[in-house]
């Protein structure tokens, strides 16, 4: 047939047959790709002229999942999907922007950048390649991926580098003036538990509260399951003298070493190979037996497996009742697997070490799954009463602080309001707006750190409040202290801080501009089709 086409490739018949063959190929193998491209379904993400295909996205996620699970078993895949989309969008923008601006990262630039990273410098401050290799092995990242990531970092730095050279001389006096400004405030702390709730709620009131606050009474998903454990030491294998001799005959080292020299090593290797083969065969038989519907207890008896029962386990591993499970060195892996399979199903076998450092193979059989649900009212009535009281106390506290702010606006002092309610007021020492100097000895420092930004937005004698860790903090500015003069030394001291803030502000403006220039389209429907459903609200800040 091939000879026919070679000899008659220019004939009308051959051309006709080849054309029909091409059409058939497109119809049967390529039409779906053509349709996808026409309808815009060939990408999950499009940034300017760059498209990210479903395959590329899945591949990127699989790589990152593999790296993360080595250090963090309970990875939130939905959050990871959003993070990857964010990163892919920004990397695509940077790639196009640097190409358009003619920015190229040379190998020499990449080499200098990596050689300058502190984590890869030895005690003498010299780059050590072994430190780099060790780092990549520890985080399980291929060298090629690390180099590509470093190139993207360099491009990002180059994009923002022009802003570093902008003059900030006109702004430095004003900036230093604001930097040196200090404030003194009066603070009144109001804890809701101070208020006594004497009224008795009716059942109707409690049921209404229960209905509108049902998230307070959620019971976590709980699972009961069995762990089937196969100890490697229980698997017996034998290696004969003939097998050892046969292995020696086919060994590539037999010309350099005698049989006597290699016998022990060959015997050990054959034992290990046989053992692994036997374990693989056993685990397959066990999995097949369970899949065929055999009783777990019968399977365990037949294959001499250890059964460990775990009841009412929550996903955070807090309520394991079985002490045998608590003591398992691979307990966390068990929980991860147990919360990834359905009721009545079995996981595949995994390998681990027991408490004595002996190798074991284990799987999880899921007995029962109780999904997350709101507990029935009658079973949590006391909890509803407790939460209702806490809610009423909080409402009382809010009422008091709001009334207090109204009285302050009318001219009342915070001390007078405190005295009326038998509270006490704390006057702080002066503090600045940046919290990076004069921090020692400041009263109520933790509170100040929470309200610092709001305090510097108030005028003298103005008041406001904020709920901090369940306590309502009512505060009023008492004194605003400006520097008498601004020295050259102070300007020099804060020059780098001002430059950093301006550079960051301008960089954010550039980011916003580039996002608009290289229009981003996310194909949410296709993401859903590949089991990557994403809430558009979580990506709204991208646009």
pLDDT score recorded for residue 344 = 92
The continuous run of DSSP H or E covering 368 comes out as strand 359-370
Distance CA 399, CA 7 (A): 97
Burial class (CB in 10 A: 0-12, 13-18, 19+), 310: buried
Residue with tokens 């964010």, as numbered in its chain? 86
Please check whether residue 187 is in contact with residue 474, taking contact to mean a CB–CB distance below 8 angstroms: yes
**Sequence-separated (6 or more) residues with CB below 8 Å from residue 191:** 397, 470, 471, 472
pLDDT score recorded for residue 210 = 93
**Sequence-separated (6 or more) residues with CB below 8 Å from residue 237:** 271, 274, 275, 278
- The two tokens of residue 177 are 């003036």
pLDDT score recorded for residue 531 = 74
Q: How many CB atoms lie within 10 A of CB 78?
A: 13
pLDDT in tens, the chain (543 residues): 444 444 444 555 455 555 555 544 444 444 444 434 434 457 888 888 888 888 888 877 777 776 665 555 566 777 778 888 888 888 888 888 888 878 888 888 888 888 888 888 888 888 888 888 888 877 777 788 888 888 888 888 877 776 666 666 666 666 676 777 788 999 999 999 999 999 999 999 999 999 999 989 988 888 899 999 999 888 888 888 888 888 888 877 777 788 888 888 888 888 888 888 888 999 999 999 999 999 999 999 999 999 989 888 886 654 555 556 767 888 888 888 888 889 999 999 999 888 888 899 999 999 999 988 999 999 999 999 999 999 999 999 999 999 999 999 998 888 888 888 788 899 988 888 776 544 455 678 889 889 988 998 899 999 999 999 999 999 999 988 887 777 677 677 667 777 777 777 777 888 788 888 888 888 888 887 777 777 777 665 544
Model confidence pTM above 0.75: no
Q: What is the largest CA-CA distance in the chain?
A: 109
Q: Sketch the domain layout of the chain as residue ranges.
A: 2-35, 45-110+508-542, 182-216+379-481, 221-371
């Amino acid at each position: 047939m091939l000879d026919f086409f070679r000899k008659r490739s220019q004939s009308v018949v051959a051309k006709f047959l080849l054309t029909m063959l091409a059409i058939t190929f497109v119809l049967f193998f390529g039409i779906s790709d053509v349709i996808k491209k026409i309808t815009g379904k060939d990408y999950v993400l499009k940034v300017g002229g760059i498209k990210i295909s479903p395959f590329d996205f899945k591949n990127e996620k699989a790589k990152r999942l593999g790296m993360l699970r080595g250090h963090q078993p309970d990875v939130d895949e939905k959050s990871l999907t959003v993070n990857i989309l964010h990163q892919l969008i920004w990397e695509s923008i940077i790639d196009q922007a640097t190409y358009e601006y003619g920015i190229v990262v040379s190998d020499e630039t990449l080499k200098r950048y990596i050689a300058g990273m502190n984590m890869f410098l030895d005690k003498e401050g010299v780059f050590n390649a072994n430190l780099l290799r060790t780092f990549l092995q520890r985080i399980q990242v291929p060298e090629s991926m690390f180099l590509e990531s470093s190139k993207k970092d360099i491009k990002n730095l180059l994009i923002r580098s022009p802003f570093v050279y902008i003059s900030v001389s006109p702004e430095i006096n004003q900036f230093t003036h604001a930097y040196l400004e200090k404030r003194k405030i009066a603070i009144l702390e109001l804890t809701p538990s101070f208020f006594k709730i004497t009224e008795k709620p009716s059942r109707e009131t409690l049921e209404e509260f229960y209905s509108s606050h049902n998230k307070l009474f959620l019971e976590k998903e709980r699972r009961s399951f069995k762990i089937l454990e196969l100890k490697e030491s229980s698997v017996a294998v034998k290696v004969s003298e003939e097998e050892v001799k046969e292995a020696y005959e086919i060994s590539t080292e037999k010309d350099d070493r005698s049989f006597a020299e290699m016998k022990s090593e060959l015997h050990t290797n054959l034992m290990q190979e046989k053992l692994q083969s036997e374990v693989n065969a056993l685990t397959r038989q066990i999995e097949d037996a369970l899949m065929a519907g055999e009783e777990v207890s019968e399977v365990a008896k037949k294959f001499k497996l250890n059964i460990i029962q775990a009841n009412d386990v929550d996903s955070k591993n807090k309520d394991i009742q079985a002490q045998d499970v608590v003591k398992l060195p691979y307990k966390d892996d068990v929980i991860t697997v147990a919360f990834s399979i359905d009721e009545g199903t079995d996981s595949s076998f995994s390998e681990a070490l027991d408490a004595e450092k002996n190798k074991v193979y284990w799987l999880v059989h899921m007995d029962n799954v109780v999904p997350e649900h709101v507990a029935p009212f009658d079973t949590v009535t006391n909890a509803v009463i407790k939460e209702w009281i806490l809610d009423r106390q909080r409402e009382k506290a809010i009422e008091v602080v709001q009334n207090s702010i109204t009285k302050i606006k009318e001219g009342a002092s915070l001390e007078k309001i405190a005295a009326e309610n038998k509270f006490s007021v704390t006057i702080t020492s002066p503090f600045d707006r940046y919290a990076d100097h004069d921090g020692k000895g400041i009263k109520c420092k933790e509170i100040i750190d929470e309200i610092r930004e709001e305090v510097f937005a108030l005028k003298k004698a103005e008041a406001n409040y904020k709920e901090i860790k369940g306590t309502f903090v009512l505060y009023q500015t008492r004194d605003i202290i400006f520097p008498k003069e601004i020295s050259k030394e102070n300007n020099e001291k804060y020059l780098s801080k001002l430059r950093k803030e301006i550079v960051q502000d301008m960089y954010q403006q550039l980011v916003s501009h580039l996002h608009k220039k290289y229009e981003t389209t996310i194909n949410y429907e296709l993401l859903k089709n590949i089991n990557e459903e994403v809430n558009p609200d979580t990506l709204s800040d991208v646009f």
